[in-house]
Structure 1
Amino acid sequence: MDDQNRNLILATVLSFVVILVWFVMFPPPEQPAEDPNAPVANVEDGTPPVADVPASPTESPTETGTDSAQTAADAPRVDISTARLSGSISLMGGRIDDLDLKDYRETIEPDSPTVTLLSPRGEAGAYYALYGWAPGSGLSFEAVPGANTVWSLESGDTLTETSPITLRWDNGEGLVFRREVSVDENYMFSIHQTVENTGAGTVSLRPYGLLARHGEPDDMMNFFILHEGVVGMADGELTEIDYDDITDFSFDQREGARAENTQVSENGWIGFTDHYWMTTLIPAANTPFAQVTKYDEQRDIYQTRTDLPTRTLAPGEQTTASSQLFAGAKEWETIRNYQNEGNVARFLDSIDWGWFFFLTKPIFAVLHWINKALVGIGLSGSMGWSIIGLTLLIKAILFPLAYKSYVSMAKMKELQPQMEKIKEEAGDDRQKLQQSMMELYKKEKVNPASGCLPILLQIPIFFSLYKVIFVTLELRHAPWIGWINDLSAPDPSSILNLFGLMPWGTPDPNSILFIFSLGVLPILLGVSMWLQQKLNPAPTDPTQKMIFAWMPWVFMFMLGTFASGLVLYWISNNTITFIQQYGIMRIQGYKPDVFGNIKRGFKRKSKADE
């Protein structure tokens, strides 16, 4: 009996402790340092770029001698209007700097503003994409289009899924630049930059794409279970860099700022990732390029950049550099399609799956397909039902192990009178007690440790589901039933106002009082754990008994502030476990009188109070 209780307590306490400390036990792994001075191969002959090609320009007043946000705001614009996007492109620099996501709102309120992803320079939290050419042999920055170049609209009037636009700029010195921009039905822009040499001399220049972010985003979670900052892929190697790590980069003289440079030989991408949104520069597949991550301390601007190979143009020649820009929501199915059908290598890894990716990826894939099936039949609150369905599937997979565990527990229940007798006979002789218990276990073919394995297996599954619910967009603002209108947020009901019967509201989620603001789901969680506990052998040791008695209510308060979807999973898991264990115990000939024990417990307590 002591071995059984000790193992069960160990497993339960381990679950409790790991949940509390897990978030500080697994910081993101350090990324290997890259050589910032490694050259980019020339597209024609594989040689390094010409010596006088400087680093690709950033948005800097030195480019044109102007640095006026008002000028940028007054520049003409081309509208963006698709089924999922709205915004505009500024003809100053040809920046994609105004973008709203039509399908997503800031809050669950129906009249809440749509999510703004990109915003122009001069506004708080300016965030935009910029494309251009770095000058090479014999060219100055004024000879190539930069951040403040005013383009003309050559074709198209509004950028839609079916109508691209083309921008044109003539430098007056023999070079004519064009930029064609198109967008698909989701969030992928295609950028084709063309330059034609109508002059008399040979020129060299290099295409680049750039994402600029003025300061850290205001809505950062600052919770390191979630990565926010730079995310990139370089020839199959994933890189995640937090904003505070970027500010610690070494100063790069060539860039004139803190910067790091990574060479990509074939496939890669780089950009900024937020909790649910992302912008990513994606050069054409099988193209060598340099990834640059940069921080301008003086102006507090973060940048990611892709420098493509240098192009050399003889008189009469032209060249085109093609790349893509993802700017939108991190929808699993959308990103998966870009990876599988659009040849964007390992694009699904832009979602932060964490260290347990081998669990989080398949768990979410199954959750997604269950939800898709339920949506197909018109079931409302489908994601909540999908979590219950996922729980059923996980319990079915673990059932063979659970079956052995529950059979062992049923036998332990049957042996409880014999174990009590052994304990009385052994008295204070611990060695004799342990030896007699082991002989009994061996004789009855009972393994007291078998009850721990299903509990221990639930720990990584619990963490993985927590990660999935926290980081994936699909659970954001996803309703279930009644008052549960966002499965990614805590249960909004509260015992402090009698679940809405009283006229006052609930404490702020950032307040310590919110811990005591138990909703319906956390209370159901505590009750389900308590009921499940009644099927297990009762500890005889007072300390063990106290720990078991308090455990359901400690978990109730601790998980009360977690996402409703996670609490729903835990309730479903407890309920299914109770049904399985109860049924198996009945099959094994033991008839647990759970509710009778509860009634007798209340009667004993009432008599004690009298």
Structure 2
Amino acid sequence: MDDQNKNLILATGLSFLVILVWFVLFPPPMPETDPNAPAVVQTQDGATSTDIALLPPAAGDGSAAPADATAATTVPAAPRLPIDTPELEGSISLIGGRIDDLSLRGYFETLAEDSAIVRLLAPVGSADPYYALYGWAPGGDLGFDDVPGANTEWRVEQGEKLTPESPVTLVWENGKGLIFRRVISIDANFMFSVTQSVENTGAAAVRLAPYGIVARHGLPDDLQNFFILHEGVVRKVDGQLDELAYDDIPDLDVVAREGAAAEVVDVAANGWIGFTDKYWMTTLIPGADQPFSSVTKYVANADIYQTEARLPVMTVEAGQSASVTTQLFAGAKEWETIRNYQNAGGIERFLDSIDWGWFYFLTKPIFWLLHNLNVLIGNMGLAIIALTVIIKAVLFPLAYKSYASMAKMRELQPQMEKLKERVGDDRQKMQQEMMELYKREKVNPAAGCLPILLQIPIFFSLYKVIFVTLELRHAPFFGWLNDLSMPDSSSTFNLFGLLPWDAPEPTSILALIFIGVLPILLGISMWLQQKLNPQPTDPTQAAIFAWLPWVFMFMLGGFASGLLVYWIANNMITFAQQYIIMKRHGYTPDLFDNIRGSFQRKKPADK
């Protein structure tokens, strides 16, 4: 391999190394909570004052804004309706008819046997309130006391428990001729359907507008705050997917009337909006052809993030009724489940709620293939290895040309040595003569770098897939590798479990030093692959190449173990391919001699 080829590979490797160092040493800072932020005031019926202040503006006709709430020191217990499905458990509060208590039966906080299941939604008064709320905004001569909202106490008209087989119906009468009903149903997975209706038994027509809200008090405790992952608002507006991070929401334009930072976007059809976490999501979904206003909002003095779906104003004549149905997704971002909601349920681009990233054209097919391999094999670690084999097979034609070009370069070594002797120290003349030699012998000196360059986007795409997708969470491989989305839990700190103390936590700085089995295997596989080629004659290059496997071993030690499984398998397959191709081209790598040479001390040059 000539100097130009070595320099290109070296530059690629060092660039990648710089990126990795930056990721580890300079991650984005965690957001700080303002200790002086005012507390959320509670109302007498259990709602926060901001729940009322954050209601949509009145539905036209110059209606007044809602009045301030009366402060109270405690939140009274509200009647509740239980939720019981194969995937969810929780309850609905009759104060506001809030869906505010929801846990995911199939997912646990940790791998411990006594781990609690993941809680997605929580009511006001808990540590992290997060809930969905529905209501009506008044228009015309109506006031906020005439329509149901955050403070309304509903009564149960039908149903005792919300299950996939039994919807529930809530009812509230305003005492002035309007009867409001809310029918809530749920499927076997994570989708609620909420039908809001109003019956006008009065003598005059009324104007009012339905809405849905998802509110989150403060930032989530498990916020990753890592630039490779989107957390915050995710929405679709007329075919366009938009993402807004939590950090950006307080910087929205201030809406004077509502006293909050907000953004209002009109959607003609096929839209949805909500909050997405790494693995979980809560999303408001109006009907496919339903126009609405998509609202993102933040109230600083209460530290509440909020998304809204505001539907158009309805005019309900005397003696008539009106209704509207929206959906609420509240659950785990399972690829297959969300795909079914998109394809069979007609929710346009719902699969894009999973953060596929800039390389979506690679991450989507890579995950599709990985998912199907896992279904076929039944083990995610083996599926990653099978995926590696398929990727290497697809890239084999390029790899063959690369290694064949490298073999051809070795055949030219005697001519290159004679060329160096002839031109001496004239570098420009040397470059010109080398280019003529390559052209005459039909050799591309950069061909050896192409597979390496292609591996970089594939590596980052697989890293994205393993980091983001729920299917890798708590996915076991073999033995101690019980979560492929997390770093290798073994460690040299306790001699891989032989010593009676625990390994450092993955987030500890010690975990970067006392690495596990997989990082060590990665370093060895890179080192063996390097030994297929003789050491560079330039001492500086030789020293850098000798250290690279061990530097990468420590740098990648904190990466997800699934990614290391991929890279180890990739290195070993590359090793086998290169060895066989070189041998077919008449060059048998002296592997053992190269290994022995790396352990021999260099003799000082004669002066």
Q: Would the TM-score normalized by the shorter structure come out above 0.5?
A: yes
Equivalent of residue 531 in structure 2, options 514, 534, 538: 534
CA contact (8 A) 1:412 1:537 kept: no
Match 2:553 to one of 549, 552, 556: 556
Q: 2:294 aligns with which of 291, 295, 302?
A: 291
Q: Is it true that 1:213 corresponds to 2:216 in the alignment?
A: yes
Matched, 1:543 2:514: no
In structure 2, the residue matched to 1:50 is 60
Does 2:425 match 1:428? Answer: yes
Is 2:477 the partner of 1:472?
A: no
Instruction: Give the conservation status (yes or no) of the 8 Å contact 2:185–2:192.
Output: yes
**Alpha carbons of structure 1 residues 606 and 409: separation in structure 2 relative to 1, 3 Å:** closer
Q: Counterparts of 1:266 and 1:53 in 2: how far apart (Å)?
A: 27
Deviation at 1:411, TM superposition (A): 2.2
Q: 2:511 aligns with which of 509, 514, 526?
A: 514
Matching residue of 2:33: none
C-alpha distance in 1 between matches for 2:543 and 2:415:
23
Aligned residue in 2 for 1:42: none
**Counterpart-to-counterpart distance in 1, 2:188 and 2:132:** 19
2:87 alignment partner in structure 1 = 84
Q: C-alpha separation between the residues in 2 aligned to 1:518 and 1:421?
A: 47
Residue equivalent to 2:310: 307
- Per-residue CA deviations over 1:367-396 (Å, capped at 9, x if unaligned) read 111111123xxxxxx111111111111111
2:533·2:589 contact (CA, 8 Å) conserved in 1?
no
Deviation at residue 606 of structure 1 after TM alignment: 10
Q: Deviations over 1:303-359 (max 9, x none)?
A: 111110111111110011100000000111111111111111111111111111111
The 5-angstrom pairing of residues 158-237 of structure 1 reads 158-237=161-240
- From 222, 227, 244, the equivalent of 2:247 is 244
Distance 1:601 1:491 in 2: 29
Q: What's the CA shift string for 1:405-464, capped at 9, x where partnerless?
A: 011112223443443454455443333433443344334332221001110111111111
The equivalent residue for 2:51 is none
SS at match of 1:169: strand
- Greater CA drift, 93-102 or 410-419: 410-419
Classify 1:288/1:24 alpha carbon distance in 2 versus 1 (closer, same or farther; 3 Å): farther
Q: CA deviation at 1:605?
A: 3.7
Counterpart of 1:407 in structure 2 is: 404
Give distance in 2, aligned partners of 1:510 and 1:595: 39
Please list, as runs of the form range in 1=range in 2, the aligned pairs for 1:273-292 lying within 5 A after superposition.
Answer: 273-292=276-295
Other structure's SS at 2:446 match: helix
2:281 and 2:332 in contact (8 A); partners too: yes
Q: Percent identity?
A: 63
Query: Cα deviation per residue 1:129-185 (whole Å; 9 max; x = unaligned)?
Result: 000111111111111111111111111111011111011111111011110000101
Matched residues in 2 for 1:429 and 1:197: separation?
Answer: 95
**Residues 59, 208 of structure 2: 8 Å contact kept:** no
Q: 2:26 & 2:458 partners in 1: Cα distance?
A: 17
Partners of 2:133 and 2:212 within 8 A in 1: yes
On the 8 A contact 1:61/1:67 being kept in 2, the answer is no
Which one-letter code corresponds to 1:77 in the other structure? R
Selected match of 2:264 from 261, 265, 279: 261
Q: Which amino acid aligns with 1:548?
A: F
**Is 1:477–1:488's contact at 8 Å kept on the other side of the alignment?**
yes
Aligned partner of 1:124 among 123, 127, 140: 127
**1:463 counterpart = 2:466:** no
Question: Relative to 1, partners in 2 of residues 1:95 and 1:177: Cα closer, same or farther, differing over 3 Å?
Answer: same
Distance 1:53 1:396, change over 3 A: farther
How many Å apart are 1:110 and its aligned residue? 2.5
- Is 1:344 matched with 2:347? yes
Q: Which amino acid aligns with 1:135?
A: P
Q: Does 1:502 find its partner at 2:505?
A: no
Q: Could you tell me which amino acid in structure 2 is paired with residue 347 of structure 1? A: F
Is 146-155 or 237-246 further displaced after alignment? 237-246
The answer (yes or no) to whether the contact 1:53–1:134 under 8 Å persists in 2 is no
- Kindly indicate whether residue 119 of structure 2 is the aligned counterpart of residue 109 of structure 1: no
Pairing 1:419–2:416 present: yes
Moved more, 2-11 or 364-373: 2-11
Partner of 1:569: 566
- The one-letter amino acid paired with 2:528 is L
1:595 maps to what in 2?
Answer: 592
Between stretches 539-548 and 13-22, larger displacement belongs to: 13-22
Tell me the TM-score normalised to structure 2 length.
0.90
Label 1:549 to 1:420 Cα distance change in 2 as closer, same or farther (>3 A).
Answer: farther
Tell whether the 8 Å contact from 2:532 to 2:594 is kept in structure 1 after alignment: no
181-190 or 585-594, larger mean C-alpha shift: 585-594
Q: Which residue is equivalent to 2:55?
A: none
Is the CA contact 1:267–1:345 (under 8 Å) kept in the aligned structure 2?
yes
Equivalent residue for 1:40?
none
Aligned residues: 574
Deviation, 1:192, is 0.4
The one-letter amino acid paired with 1:524 is L
Note if contact 1:413-1:537 (Cα within 8 Å) is conserved in structure 2: no
Q: Which amino acid aligns with 2:318?
A: P
Corresponding residue of 1:585: 582
The residue identity in structure 1 corresponding to 2:299 is D
Q: Secondary structure at the match of 1:131?
A: strand
CA contact (8 A) 2:20 2:555 kept: no
Of 393, 396, 399, the match for 2:393: 396
Q: Which residue number in structure 2 is paired with residue 36 of structure 1?
A: none
From the superposition, tell whether residues 590 and 133 of structure 1 become closer, same or farther in structure 2 (CA, over 3 Å).
same
What is the letter of the counterpart of residue 443 of structure 2?
A: V
CA distance in 2 between counterparts of 1:54 and 1:557 reads: 62
Report which structure shows greater RCO (CA 8 Å, sep ≥6). 1
The whole-number CA distance in structure 1 between the counterparts of 2:318 and 2:245 is 45
| Letter paired with 2:389 | L
- The residue matched to 1:367 in structure 2 has which SS? helix
Structure 2 segments unaligned to the other structure (5+ residues): 29-57
**187 and 235 in structure 1: CA distance in 2 versus 1, 3 angstrom threshold:** same
CA spacing shift, 1:414–1:497, aligned 2, 3 Å: farther
Alignment-mate amino acid for residue 240 of structure 2: E
Structure 1 gaps of 5+ residues are: 28-47, 376-381
Deviation at 1:540, TM superposition (A): 1.2
